Amino acid sequence: MMKFGAAIGMTLLGCVGLPGMSEAHFQMLYPGESARQSNSGAFDLFAIFTHVFHGAPSMAMAPPRALYMLKQRGDEGKPEKVDLLKQAEKFEWLGSEKSGVAAYKVSLPSAQMRSLGDYVFVLEPEPYLEATEDKYIQQFTKTVVNVGGMPGNWDKVLGLPAEIRPLNKPYANWTGGVFRGVVLARGKPAPFAEIEVEYVNRKPDGATKLWAGEPQVTAPHPALGPMSIRADATGAFAIGLPRAGWWGIAALDVGPVKKHLGKKLSQDAVIWVQATDIK
């Protein structure tokens, strides 16, 4: 089992252990693989609200407010928006606790992924009440999948209340490389935004509804589990990707709405990035 050392490569005003962290909640939008061949076939997209480094606790999701896919072949034309809410199925995610919480799955047939190019999946969840913090959390989440290597709308701003615009393709990153992005609030840069970065320590297994295998990484210090950085004055940030697999990036409390049902609301922006080993 790998020891997760200090050479993590957090940067651009990276600050470990910032106060006021929101306990590393991460809204997953997990497609298995982000870079697919032209004959990619069907796959399942999982929406799970959990803590991806430690694997627990997981939180019950309410029915999403919005779940859709934007697909585009190349750079020409307007992306086609496909509503996925009717395809979303509620299921019981067991995770590490094996007690079960509500999560959602979309089964995407090959016909929906037949064209080459980028597919941007977007989830707007219902705000979740975190009782231990006496506040609501709502994470606007993006995952980008590419089919066949033809780029498309991976870097386009979607106009979400809280959003991370990628400056690198989220699906084309070698292990040891750097991923860059810009935190946006209502389409404008969010200076010095607080950002959490977390490694998906075990893959979610759709068949068993559990985490697969053993954790890949052991953190020698709590600050190296969920890690904290700040964006710079322009909202930009960069992170190192020292290990292959999925990385979650969450910009905290950058959305415009600050209250929900009389309590504080943190509208976060989440993007998922996959790193691939050079073999």
Residue 8 tokens read as: 């993590």
What are the pLDDT digits (tens) for 210-241? 999 999 999 999 899 899 999 999 999 999 99
Higher pLDDT, 92 or 74: 92
Whether 12 has a pLDDT exceeding 60, the answer reads: no
Do the beta carbons of residue 167 and residue 180 sit within 8 Å?
Answer: yes
DSSP E strands in 17-134: the ranges are 26-30, 35-36, 43-50, 66-72, 80-83, 88-93, 101-108, 117-124, 128-130
What is the residue range of 182's domain? 2-276
Can you give the pLDDT at residue 3? 37
Whether 6 has a pLDDT exceeding 60, the answer reads: no
Whether 22 has a pLDDT exceeding 70, the answer reads: no
Query: Which pLDDT band, with edges at 50, 70 and 90, does 21 fall under?
Result: very low
Can you give the pLDDT at residue 76? 60
How many angstroms separate the CA atoms of 47 and 28, rounded? Answer: 5
What are the pLDDT digits (tens) for 85-130? 999 999 999 998 888 999 999 999 988 888 888 999 999 999 999 9
For the chain, the domain total comes to 1
In terms of Cα–Cα distance, which of 19, 3, 46, 2 is closest to 208? Answer: 46
Instruction: Kindly report the pTM of this predicted structure.
Output: 0.90
Percent of the chain with pLDDT strictly greater than 70: 89
Do the beta carbons of residue 232 and residue 191 sit within 8 Å?
Answer: yes
Whether 5 has a pLDDT exceeding 60, the answer reads: no
Number of helices (H) and strands (E), helices first, in the chain?
A: 0, 24
